[in-house]
Amino acid sequence: MIIDRLIDRIKETGNPTVVGLDPRLSYIPTYITEKYYTKYGKTPKAAAKSMLKFNKKIIDAVFDIVPAVKPQIAMYERYGIEGLKAYEKTVEYAKLKGLIVIGDVKRNDIASTAEAYAEGLLGAADIDGVPCGSLPHDFITVNPYLGSDGITPFTDSCKKYDKGIFVLAKTSNPHSGELQDLMCDGKPVYEHVGALIEKWGEDLIGENGYSSVGAVVGATHREQAARLREVMPHTFFLVPGYGAQGGKAEDLAVCFKDGIGAIVNSSRGIIAAHLKDEYKLCYNDERLFALAARQACIDMKNDLRRCI
């Protein structure tokens, strides 16, 4: 089952880190962007080609030391169809290098509409009897606000195609509490969502005791995460918010149980490491950006392992 393959890869690399592939043009060395600006002008095509080249270099530099990458589709959709082509090619390239790919798409809709998303992002659409392959994600992220009708079409695809989803439970942003922390029957909304996620995942539990239906639980809310770890024993956590958003290894350690149970995302902290003071000195040529990213993955691994 896909969740077992993710756990295996985490054990092999000893690194519960997922690299967020959320490129911004400001992160990309000018030797890359200038080449494409010269060729295509300052166009979506040039932006997209730059992002793809950047991602490939990052993937080449880290694929052997991290289990997974998480491209954030918003960063690509920003540049329209050209951007989405770069997203597609990034997913394909990461798969080719043996990485688990978590598409951060936060899709949500109901019934046959959610089914259409599931077909395009996890399964296969049907064209008059001919199956039409989807993007080769292993997991995607999904928003739970619509309830079971919005989730079942995705879990059906997970069963059929051996894929997984991470459902938003408690997000890492400062105002996540506006809805997620509302108290209902003595429990916050995110805990109700947690109980639903456990239920949605009960038919997809793998050999390691975790389900292919996981949860997004922010690194910035230590106590809530600890509580969710308790009430969601079969749910693997995808943990955003480490680093740039203020989440620390000490805080998110509660998401783990016996050293597994979670994977921690870092985007900017890794892919833009070359712009940070602590790496600038060693990687003092923009062409070394991917090596800086590799070092940041190693440093993150050591930081996490110190605490879990």
From 5, 65, 95, 146, residue interacting with a second copy (rule: CB under 8 A): 146
Window 22-81: residues binding a second copy (CB under 8 A): 22, 24-25, 33, 37, 42-44, 46-47, 72, 74-75, 77-81
Here the tokens at position 250 are 């000490």
Q: How far is the CB of 46 from a second copy (least distance, A)?
A: 7
In sequence order, what are the residues at sequence separation of 6 or more whose Cβ sits closer than 8 angstroms to the Cβ of residue 111? 149, 153
The residue with tokens 């990485």 is: 99
Among positions 151-170, residues that touch a second copy (CB under 8 A) are 168
- Closer by beta carbon to a second copy, 15 or else 157: 157
Residue 284 interacts with a second copy (CB under 8 A)? no
56 has catalytic annotation: no
Residue 189 within binding range of a second copy, rule CB under 8 A: yes
Q: At its nearest, how many Å lie between a second copy and the CB of residue 114?
A: 7
Paired tokens of 152: 């079942």
Torsions phi, psi for 138 (to 5 deg): -95, -40
| Least gap, CB of 288 to a second copy (angstroms) | 22
Residue with tokens 């040529």: 285
The DSSP secondary-structure symbol of 302 reads H
Q: Is 176 in the site for a second copy (CB under 8 A)?
A: yes
204, 211 contact by CB (below 8 A): yes
Q: Cα(74)–Cα(70) distance, rounded to whole angstroms?
A: 12
Question: Which residue among the candidates 85, 95, 97, 106 is catalytic per the annotation?
Answer: 106
Which residue's CB is nearer to a second copy, number 106 or number 248?
106
Residue closer to a second copy, measured from CB, 81 or 307: 81
- Quote the tokens at residue 60: 């080449």
Contact by Cβ (8 Å): 170, 146: no
Instruction: Please state the closest distance from residue 37 (CB atom) to a second copy, in A.
Output: 7
Q: Which of 127, 223, 258, 277 binds a second copy (CB under 8 A)?
A: 127
* 64, 98, 132, 302: which one binds a second copy (CB under 8 A): 132
Distance of alpha carbon 276 from the chain centroid: 22
Q: What residues pair up with 13 in beta bridges, in sequence order? A: none
Q: How far is the CB of 242 from a second copy (least distance, A)?
A: 15
Separation CA 80–CA 78 (nearest Å): 6
**What's the DSSP call for residue 247?**
B
205 makes contact with a second copy (CB under 8 A): no
193 binds a second copy (CB under 8 A): yes
Query: Is residue 171 part of the contact set for a second copy (CB under 8 A)?
Result: yes
> Could you say whether residue 136 binds a second copy (CB under 8 A)?
no
Exactly one of 11, 113, 208, 298 binds a second copy (CB under 8 A); which one? 113
- Fill in the amino acid letter for 216: V
Cβ–Cβ < 8 Å for 198, 205: no
- Show Cβ contacts of residue 107 under 8 Å, excluding neighbours closer than 6 positions: 114, 117, 121, 140, 141, 142, 143, 154
User: Is residue 275 involved in binding a second copy (CB under 8 A)?
Assistant: no
Tell me: does residue 96 bind a second copy (CB under 8 A): no
Q: Does 265 bind a second copy (CB under 8 A)?
A: no
Query: What are the catalytic residues?
Result: 106
